[in-house]
Amino acid sequence: MSDITMETARPPESGPRGTPARGRYLLGLVTGAVVLLLAGCSSSGNSAPTSTSTSAPTTSTAAGATTSTAGAPSTTAAGPTPVYEVRTGTVPGLGKVLVDGQGFTLYLFVPDKQSGQSTCYSACAQAWPPLLLPAGTTVPPVGKGVVPSLLGTTKRSDGTTQITYNKWPLYLWVSDSEPGQATGQGLNNLGGLWYVLSPQGKEITTTP
């Protein structure tokens, strides 16, 4: 009798590691969905957020703008007026008097006796600073309203050069804090009387 080989029934085809074909199919669908989902998230996450930049406000200066010069020394067409210039100014109650290049009142010292020589030194010269020419300058500048022939100079004992007017050595007074003041007028201070001068070189003895 011939041997009859009976073929045993095969189990359904299986995928890797015994996964049924149907399961493999479903697994493929799920995997594809996950891949698509991740791709969508990645695309959304990589988009840089739109930002709005705000420019800082800028300021501009109009062409031709000028800078305030309040308090600056007086000037002429030739440039700044030298401090040591003798000119005329007005003091209330005294009228026209001699002033320096910044407008501060100038004084004579009666003990100088219109001799062209100063007698004011040490403590006197600290309270009543002499009007000096700068080193290297020999001729005082002629300011507005003065008589040029009345301007002169005198040598002091310390070698500096003091300006004179009508042979009166000229001085400032430390207590005058601004142009137009003459708080030293008529003072009997540090050895003698102090007076302002007229444009003609005469002492003015009026009390303002």
Q: How far is CA 74 from CA 14, 41, 80, 100, 102, in A?
A: 110, 77, 6, 11, 7
Structure tokens belonging to residue 137: 């300058």
- Convert the pLDDT of each residue in 127-171 to its tens digit: 999 999 999 999 999 999 999 999 999 999 999 999 999 999 999
Contacts of 135 (CB under 8 A, 6+ apart): none
Instruction: Choose the weakest-confidence range: 48-62, 110-124, 190-204.
Output: 48-62
Distance CA 86, CA 75 (A): 14
Distance CA 146, CA 97 (A): 10
The average pLDDT across 64-89 equals: 60
Half-sphere exposure of 138 (CA within 13 A, CB side): 0
Cα angle 163, 165, 171; round to 5 = 55
- Convert the pLDDT of each residue in 98-131 to its tens digit: 999 999 999 999 999 999 999 999 999 999 999 9
Contact predicate 206/197, CB 8 Å: no
Taking Cα atoms as reference points, which of 201, 197, 167 lies closest to residue 184? Answer: 197
Contact predicate 108/164, CB 8 Å: no
**The pLDDT of residue 184 is above 70:** yes
Length in residues, the chain:
208
**The pLDDT of residue 22 is above 70:** no
Structure tokens belonging to residue 103: 């407008």
Confidence bin at 81 (pLDDT 50/70/90): confident
pLDDT at residue 180, as a whole number: 95
Half-sphere exposure of 88 (CA within 13 A, CB side): 15
Q: Averaging pLDDT over each range in 26-30, 69-73, 110-114, which range is the top one? A: 110-114
Average per-residue pLDDT for the chain: 77
153 vs 17, higher pLDDT: 153
| The model scores a pTM over 0.75 | no
**The pLDDT of residue 54 is above 70:** no
Q: Name the helix (H) or strand (E) containing 88.
A: strand 87-91
**The pLDDT of residue 35 is above 60:** no
Where are the chain's structural domains?
Answer: 83-204
